[in-house]
Structure 1
Amino acid sequence: MIMFFIFAGVLLLMLIGVSTAVTMGFTSLATFLLAGGGIEKLFLIPQRMYDQVSGITLMSIPFFLLMGNFMNVGGVSGSLFGFGRACLGHRWGGLSNAAIAACMVMAAMSGSAAACAAGIGMIAIGEMSKCGYGKPFCCATIAAGGALGPIIPPSITLILYAGLTQTSVNSLFAAGIVPGLLLGIGFMSWSSYVSYKNGYAKEDPVPWIERYDAFKKAFLALMTPVIVIGGMFAGLFTATEAAAVASFYVMVLGFFVYHTLHIRDLPKIFWETVEQTSKVMFIIATAGFFQYVLLYTRIPQQAIAFISESFTSIIPVLLIIILVLVLMGCFMEGTAILLITVPIFVPLAKAFHYDVVQMGIVMCISLAVGVLTPPVGLNLYVMASITGEKVMAIAKQAVGYVLIMIAVAILVAFCGPVTLGLGHLIN
């Protein structure tokens, strides 16, 4: 009954428009008092909130947000799409494939679904529309490409999961590479099929000299993921240091290479980063008290005992977890879902001796589906705000991408080498 009260309270408050942080904080406080916590113990609220955000791992989040803001203003996305267009534009769905490829590289730079979709969408949608692509399909394709942001490392979602579970960030990043690439290939294949079916125009093949010129323009931008991921796996710096170095690198590109970034842009970029960081950190802080309330009411232990008695195999449990996360993603923001479900799902995975890193990737992909599913699909609204298209028209075109994501989540859940193989190879 307590668990039902918590989830019902969270869903009700978010449906009436209460912010995620306030929703989690209010629900946690009410549950704590109803469970007999006592007013004299409310001093635990600021203590737990501070403990949750004081970890060094979470310090990388503001730097990755800063890097995403630099990229959106500094012209990085334009060079990436131009290179993808030169290489893939002559295929069926070539421009849509180029947009997805650019989103994959952006995902390996920003770690944010919305930033990835917005950065590529501002440039790609206009070019795709000129070549005869249906605008809802353009929006759905880039929204799906943006959904790779929380999956392909560096990922803010994976960093948050690492902080909540005390798991190695490097292990999670290594585990996310192959599933992210599989999703990208799946998205490209689907977009090519839809383009062929609808007769969307193909461009004339670009001469190799022009492809080389496009590569030269995009080369320094393409080096950003190498700096972030390569530096971490080589042991040159931590996730937080990698984010800081990459932010500075992207800023230098904007100032001195693309010449699209100016001194007057810095106050706005820094202020937007502060706002975004404060919102994320406030949510994470309230989640600290939320996790304490769950432990206080023994909900994780009760859930583990019930499911362990009901199922003898991890297979139905994983399918239930994926289904729950996908359904919750239709109504709640991914960060909130992660903070609510990790204290229950991760101990449950451990009870069945399931790898915590693999569980992180399964949860990450399942949560990413939520950016494409109404009524809360974040990337759908980002694309709608850019183009003026109706959200449901975009969502209808995104169904194929959603099914691909669910299929990959199931593959990752039951095929360990897909996630853990690269990490073992690197180690």
Structure 2
Amino acid sequence: MTLLILFISLLVMLLLGFPVMVVLGASSLIAILVEGSVPDFIVLHRMVSGMDSFPLLSIPFFVLAGSLMNSAGITGRIFDFARALVGWMPGGLGHVNVGASVIFAGMSGAAVADAGGLGAIEIKAMRNAGYDPGFSVGVTAASSTIGPIIPPSLPLVIYGVTASTSIGQLFAAGLIPGLLMAVALMIMVAWYAHRYHYPRDVAFALKWIAYTFRRAFLSLMTPVIIVGGIVLGIFTATEAAIAAVAYAMVLGAVVYRTLTWRRLISVTMETIETTGIIMMIIAASAVFSWLLTSHHVAEGFASWMLTFTSNPVLILLLMTLILFVVGCFMETIAAITILVPILLPIAVSLGVDPVQFGIVMVLNLMIGLLTPPVGLVLYVLSQVSKVPFERCAVATLPFLFPLFVVLMLVTFVPAISMWLPTMLYR
């Protein structure tokens, strides 16, 4: 009865358009009050304990680091370097789009930050070069999903806390799948370039590559500091986030002199707002997850799935489908905190490593950011490009295919995600 009330109230409030954090917290409170056997103050207790985690301190710092990179003009230098590096290929700016996202992924850890910051530069350049607006938006949207896979990654931090899994190993596990996503998208861009005769953007020139590399060198050191520091054990993921903020501030305020007090205050307020929303979702999700766990939903769901099939491959495909559907309707962080207690025990029982499953889950939910009705990345790019949301969604559809191919490879070939963490940590 309690679970029925929980899910009915959840569905009703979602359909009414309430914010996710309100939906999760209120539905949990209603279920607890109706059940009557649990004191209502347990809601506050669970909310506080859900936020009481040291790794979660990295969230505001990674958000701030990404915002500082955008505000200090660092993204422009990265784009110029990527342009010199791969812009000579047919469909040059499409390849530049993907390459710049790979580099920026090592700084921001968020798809929306990539789409809103770097995406604005990329779409403007492609539009000026005469590329079809739909193609420009599609490749920008798809490449932005690389950000949360290549370390650092906010969704992987949330998953690591929820699943009690090493964040360092998760970061290491995301590197190869992220690069594989980039290769798959560049193959797709090459196919488009061949079919529609898209031009090369610039001629290949070692001098130009060297010049843009020198201009972007200090910016390119950001992912080296973050990832290298974590892998070498110099600092934790949280400390790496703090180091990224300090480095971005030094670059923006001292080296490039593009970070003014007004911009600093602006990005700080944006970070406070974003962090507040994320933490409230985590707090509300902690109560919701506790209810699911205390009522043995994971065990019941596993039994239900086994009534259809006991084939591990089919079960993994079914979980992938569930994650994709949820990603279409729910914000990533909320989906992670709700689904991990349900799906992770099933995956572990099938022999899937929690680190590998984290990459599979986050990659799946990132694809969900490219699909209506939620499609947060699509909304951002629609605003940036002034292209209607519906057209953005249609233009992005072909780019889902290479991402699904990578998802299947990561799901059924564990070595792709597990080779690096095994080498470094095990």
TM-score, structure 1 as length reference: 0.96
User: For 1:154-204, what per-residue CA distance to the aligned partner results, in whole angstroms no more than 9, with x for missing partners?
Assistant: 110000000001100011111111111100111111112112211222234
Match of 1:210 among 204, 208, 211: 208
Q: Secondary structure at the match of 1:364?
A: helix
Q: How does 1:292-371 map to 2 (within 5 A)?
A: 292-308=290-306, 310-371=308-369
Say if 1:322 and 1:409, in contact at 8 Å, map to a contact too: no
| Correspondence for 2:32 | 32
User: For 1:369-421, what per-residue CA distance to the aligned partner results, in whole angstroms no more than 9, with x for missing partners?
Assistant: 01110111111111110121011211112112212222211111111100101
Say if 2:76 and 2:121, in contact at 8 Å, map to a contact too: yes
Say if 2:91 and 2:201, in contact at 8 Å, map to a contact too: no
User: For 1:129-149, what per-residue CA distance to the aligned partner results, in whole angstroms no more than 9, with x for missing partners?
Assistant: 121111121111111111112
Distance 1:9 1:316, change over 3 A: farther
Q: Which amino acid aligns with 1:307?
A: M
Q: CA deviation at 1:2?
A: 6.1
Q: How does 1:13-412 map to 2 (within 5 A)?
A: 13-34=13-34, 36-38=35-37, 41-308=39-306, 310-412=308-410
Q: CA deviation at 1:263?
A: 1.8
Distance 1:306 1:153 in 2: 35
Q: CA deviation at 1:32?
A: 2.7
Distance 2:202 2:244 in 1: 36
Distance 1:352 1:207, change over 3 A: closer
Q: Which amino acid aligns with 1:108?
A: G
Q: Secondary structure at the match of 2:369?
A: helix
Say if 1:15 and 1:331, in contact at 8 Å, map to a contact too: no
Q: CA deviation at 1:310?
A: 4.3
- Over the aligned positions, Cα root-mean-square deviation in angstroms equals 1.6
Say if 2:92 and 2:202, in contact at 8 Å, map to a contact too: no
Aligned residues: 425
- Which ranges of structure 2 fall in alignment gaps of 5 or more residues? none
Say if 2:230 and 2:236, in contact at 8 Å, map to a contact too: yes
Q: Which amino acid aligns with 1:409?
A: L
Distance 1:331 1:309 in 2: 26
Distance 2:379 2:220 in 1: 28
Q: Secondary structure at the match of 1:69?
A: helix
Distance 2:147 2:422 in 1: 23
Distance 1:409 1:4, change over 3 A: farther
Say if 1:132 and 1:200, in contact at 8 Å, map to a contact too: no
Q: Which amino acid aligns with 1:253?
A: L
Q: Which amino acid aligns with 1:26?
A: A
